[in-house]
Every structure is written in structure tokens, then in C-alpha cells.
Amino acid sequence: MTRVPPPDAADRPHTAITAETDLILASGSTIRQTLLRNAGLTIAIHPAPVDEDAIKRAHGTPDVTADHTDRLALTLAHAKAAAIAARHPDALTIGCDQILRCGQTLFDKPRSRAEARTHLDMLRGHAHQLHTAIVLHHGPDILWQHVERPTLHMRDVSAAFLDAYCEMEGETMLTTVGAYRLEGPGIQLFERIDGDHTAILGLPLLPLLGILRTIGKLPR
């Protein structure tokens, strides 16, 4: 698990930010919304309209090192936060992104059930990392950024198990980068998981709550 430290801006006071400052999640992810609301936060939901494929192409050579993958995840998270923060300059905007890396391959969300099955066949019996980036913007200002890399060890599951799993999950497999939901039957795919559970779900919650306390959005 690796953390990317926040920029220096996170250490400076932001007097315009109060407990009443609106908090926006620039994502339509149901699990991210649930994590924040279960933590007692009041949030508005504004999914960011960004062209992720174009951003990935502009990012340059598809280097599959861990550091490059961190930077790509941060670039995508910043693009999402910036798109929404421009429309709501007085609010705090959370941007998130998650990239799955297994060996020398980066995985996007599967586009079909057949592709999801192919991804699972590639992942079974191997460890992979989820590069989970989260950023916080206040209007044009980048207040904070953070990346974690939880590692998940998938069992060498049988073909029969995968057939049953894919039938059970159906189109739900297309909603996550790994074609699995740890909060659902996907947990049966794994023999060991290293790292923060909320980071695996797509939003490292404790570091976010920490920065919200630092800047005065949450009480200390």
C-alpha cells in the first residue's frame, strides 16, 4: 500500500471553507456515495463528464510501472474534480479514479460480460493492485491529493466457479474495473487482501476525513 503525500496547499488555512461549505462528489458511483453518507457526510452528486480515453491517450506512452499508474489515476481524478469545481467554485469537490494493474497490463471496466469473463480469467491465480486516487478541489485550487495501492490476491478459481459467478453477477460485472464487488459475491474470488478496504471500494475514506478536518469542514 502506497500513499502519495498532499501538495503543500493542504497545510495552509483556507478561511473561506467552513462546516457549511457544500461537498460534492464528482462521481456517480453508488458505493462511493454510500461510504460518504455512512460516515455522516452530506454530499451532492455530480458525475463528471470527462473523456477518460482521451486523457489516457494524452498521458503518453503506456508505461505500466506503479508510479506511472499512480500519476495516471491522479490525472483522471483531477480532471473529474476540475470539471465539476468549475461549475461550483464555492464548493469542495471530490474527484476519484481507480486503475487495476496486474503484471504488465492495465485494466479498464469491461464493456461486455464476455470481456468481464476474460478479465477474470487473466486475474485468477495472480495478485493485482488497485491504484486508487482521490483529490479535493476548492474552485480552481487543488487542496489535496492521495493515492493508495491495495493488493488483492485472487484464488486460482475453477472454470465452473467462474461460470456460476458470472451468471450470478451478470451486468453488475460491468460496473467495476475488476469485474467484481467485494461487498457482494466477488469476495469469494480472493484468498487474501492487503490494504484499506475503503480504498479497494474506490474511495480512501480515512485520509479524506483527515483532510476535511484539517481545512475546517469537519470538527477536530
Residue 110 DSSP symbol:
P
Separation CA 3–CA 177 (nearest Å): 20
Q: Is the dihedral of CA 98, 17, 22, 86 positive or negative?
A: negative
Cα dihedral 35/37/43/48 (nearest 10): 30
Evaluate whether 85 touches 137 at the Cβ level (below 8 Å): yes
108 among known catalytic residues: no
Separation CA 2–CA 74 (nearest Å): 13
Task: Spot the catalytic one: 53, 97, 108, 194.
Answer: 97
Catalytic positions, please? 97
